[in-house]
Structure 1
Amino acid sequence: MNEPAELDLPVEGGTLRVLRFGRGPRTALAAHGITASGMAFGAMARRLPDEWTLFAPDLRGRGGSAGTPGDYGLDRHATDLCRLAEDLGAGRPVALTGHSMGAYIALRAAARRPELFDRLLLVDGGLPLPVPPGADLDAVLDVTLGPALARLGRTFATDQDYVDFFRAHPALGPDWNADIETYVRYDLTGPRGARRSKAREEAVRHDGRDLLASADLFAADLTRLSVPARLLHAPLGLLGQEPPMLRAAEVQHWTGRSPGLPAELIAGTNHYTILLGAAAKTVAERLVALIE
């Protein structure tokens, strides 16, 4: 697949920037992570068969949709996904995938509007996250997201400074490749001398608090899920080391309660490289094969 086309498609209250990879007749829709963009799916999209088209929106508050009005929150994003699925599917169900926070959004969309989707692939996300009662959710976000959140309040003198910031990330630097660099450069905005991420911190924090506080809702979504589904998860976490985002005990618990959700550990990956590294080929293959 060549460079993606950039589309502005209608949702409630505005438009979303949507990256279209490919021009095939079979349609897939992909939701990205909390500080990411639709460009996170570039490596995966390139490995889909020619008969597929993958549409990857920049969610509200990120990428080319940074200026799309809120409200934010996972329900809002799920509603946006459903609207895109209705319009892009043209009366036929579409394949759905999501990575990290996007997996939770995709799960919610598929649980609420199963008629819109013919399959659901969750990539290192989608399972309820254990949060201690009464925890300061912003403090939890600061600890778990680390460098990903810290960059949102910073400016960078040059584009290369921004790239170098990502190259120093322990989960990305050792596996740096052209797909990661394209993803990073797509996220840049701002004037010369004060370059910054397109992602809005208010959107990220709003969505992060919502994600952490919604374990019961995700549990309900999993137990009523009727769309054919699969979970792919990484052995290493957001900093390229243990613990993973989805711990083995949690994967075993939730796949046991949701027999229609088999899980597969993708060896040699962390939370980011499961999608941005060589494993993108596996992700693409699993999406295509999920109901074939």
Structure 2
Amino acid sequence: MSETLDYRTFDVEVRGGSLRAGEWSRRGAEGGQTVLAVHGVTSSHLAWPFVARQLLVPPAAGQGDSADDAEGPGSAPGVARVVAPDLRGRGRSNSLPGPYGMAQHADDLAAVLRAAGADADRPAVVVGHSMGAFASLVLADRHAELVERLVLVDGGIPLAPPPGMSPEEALQALLGPAAERLRMEFASPEAYLDYWEPHPAFTGAWTPEFEEYIRYDLDGAAPRLRPATALAALADDNADLYGGASLLGALDRLRVPTLLLRAERGLLGQLPPLYPDEVMDRVREEHPAIEVRDVPGTNHYTIVMTADGAAAVARAVLAGGPLAAGTAALRDSDTPG
């Protein structure tokens, strides 16, 4: 990804076996902050390379916003590593058994953080996208000593069923296409790439990183390759999206600084977004401690999987605490217009 970054994967022992995680780290950095990045419902840790790069790679000399930028990696603690797991039932963690749900994901995430060196004296900034935002909220509730701040990216707030729909019917409308994909087989990685290419959310946003992400999201052997997410995990986790007890309790007891970023458009690049204005108004009324910001020019996917979207996420991560002073400025060319 960059000559200044190291990337590795490692396994963490959790209930039922090993959970896979990826880590991007700043070469030559000592100490520094850990950022935990938590992916969405049928995703993997490879959703995060753009955000990792924005947080870890300083701009070239003369491109930053201050004289301190020229000092380069290791000149200040800043963000030292971005750790991102494949959640239970996804990616290379897809053989881990259920039950799933946000409480189980939270406990798995706590194990990952401890393996990465986080503790009560060195808590992490936690960034959760989509379903990962729900899991991040419950992590902050069940393992508060490990979490310094939360950044929720187009997720974390219980979804409201459209008028006339039950929660079950709304879930089917929202995630039915994902469930259908998980039942499919593909003859080759190229066939899976062809399946994804027409997706409207990625029109004009197809990148080598996204192609690598798609290739990683396959399990089995050709010509019977299948998406890596376990169908049972999708079914079990969806209940919390409309207000499971662990999530609602976590929201009521929220006690760490929390920022919610809303993408301008939804899962198919459409309007209205996943969280319409009336939902954001309710969040501001019922949870005034949660700061809400919109990210123009992004949809539910590109808010983390493009340079512009990732720049907005990285600014949110760096916005509070010592990170703002300790990490080099973001590149001007990556700032949304």
Does the TM-score normalized on the shorter chain lie above 0.5?
yes
The equivalent position to 1:253 in structure 2, one of 282, 286, 297, is 282
Q: 1:136 to 1:257 in 2, by over 3 A?
A: closer
Tell whether the 8 Å contact from 1:223 to 1:257 is kept in structure 2 after alignment. no
Between the two proteins, what is the percent identity of the paired residues? 39
Pick from 48, 58, 65 the counterpart of residue 41 of structure 1. 48
The separation in 2 between residues aligned to 1:83 and 1:251, in whole angstroms, is: 32
Q: Alignment length, in residue pairs?
A: 290
User: What is the CA-CA distance between 1:84 and the residue it aligns to?
Assistant: 2.0
Partner in structure 2 of residue 68 of structure 1:
96
Is 2:213 the partner of 1:183? yes
Residues 100-115 of structure 1 correspond to what in structure 2 (within 5 A)?
100-115=130-145
- 1:286 Cα shift? 1.3
- 1:153 aligned to 171, 183, 186, which one? 183
Question: 2:224 aligns to what?
Answer: 194
Which deviations, in whole Å up to 9, do the C-alpha atoms of 1:195-251 show, x marking residues without a partner?
A: 22111111111111232352x653432232111111101121111101211111111
CA gap of 1:61–1:158, structure 2 versus 1, over 3 A, is: same
1:170 corresponds, among 181, 200, 213, to: 200
Aligned residue for 2:298?
269
| Residue in structure 1 matching 2:20, options 17, 20, 23 | 17
1:145 and 1:238 in contact (8 A); partners too? no
Corresponding position of 1:94: 124
* SS of residue paired to 1:28: strand
- Aligned residues of 1:166 and 1:173 also touching (Cα < 8 A): no
Name the counterpart of 2:315: 285
Change (3 A) 1:252 1:52: farther
Distance 1:96 1:136, change over 3 A: closer
Name the TM-score, length of structure 2 as normaliser: 0.80
The SS at the match of 2:272 is: coil
Matched, 1:206 2:236: yes
Cα deviation 1:259-279 (Å, max 9, x = unaligned): 221111000111111111121
Counterpart among 8, 12, 23 of residue 5 in structure 1: 8
**Matches for 1:135-154 after TM superposition, within 5 Å:** 135=166, 137=168, 139-154=169-184
Q: Is the contact made by 1:75 and 1:108 (CA closer than 8 Å) also made in structure 2?
A: yes
Hey, what's the Cα distance between the residues in 2 that align with 1:90 and 1:218?
23
Answer yes or no: is the 8 Å Cα contact 1:229–1:290 preserved in 2: no
Aligned to 2:86: 58
Deviation at residue 187 of structure 1 after TM alignment: 0.7
Decide whether aligned partners of structure 1 residues 257 and 140 sit closer, same or farther in structure 2, where only a CA change above 3 A counts. Answer: closer
Distance in 1, matches of 2:127 and 2:39, equals 9
Equivalent residues of 2:182, 2:227 under 8 A apart: yes
Aligned to 1:244: 273
User: Which digits, 9 at most, give the CA deviation of each residue in 1:39-77, with x for residues without a partner?
Assistant: 111111111135420110001110010011222111110
Shift of 1:156: 1.0
User: 1:143-164: CA deviations, max 9, x gaps?
Assistant: 1125433210101112111011
The letter of the residue matching 2:17 is G
Deviation at 1:252, TM superposition (A): 2.0
Aligned partners of 1:171 and 1:239 also within 8 Å: yes
Distance 2:289 2:125 in 1: 16
Note if contact 1:40-1:276 (Cα within 8 Å) is conserved in structure 2.
Answer: yes
CA contact (8 A) 1:236 1:244 kept: yes
Equivalent of 1:119, from 121, 133, 149? 149
The residue identity in structure 2 corresponding to 1:19 is G
Please give the per-residue CA displacement for 1:154-187, whole angstroms capped at 9, x wherever unaligned.
0111211101111111112332122221211111
Q: Considering only aligned residues, what root-mean-square deviation do their CA atoms show, in Å? A: 2.0
Aligned partner of 2:71 in structure 1 is none
Per the TM alignment, residue 123 of structure 1 is displaced from its structure 2 partner at its CA by 0.2
Partners of 2:102 and 2:247 within 8 A in 1: no
- Match of 1:161, as an amino acid? A
Which moves more between the two structures, 79-88 or 95-104? 79-88
TM-score, L = length of structure 1:
0.92
CA-to-aligned-CA distance 1:71-116 (integer Å, 9 cap, x gap): 2111110111122223323432111110000000001111232221
AA partner of residue 107 (structure 1): L
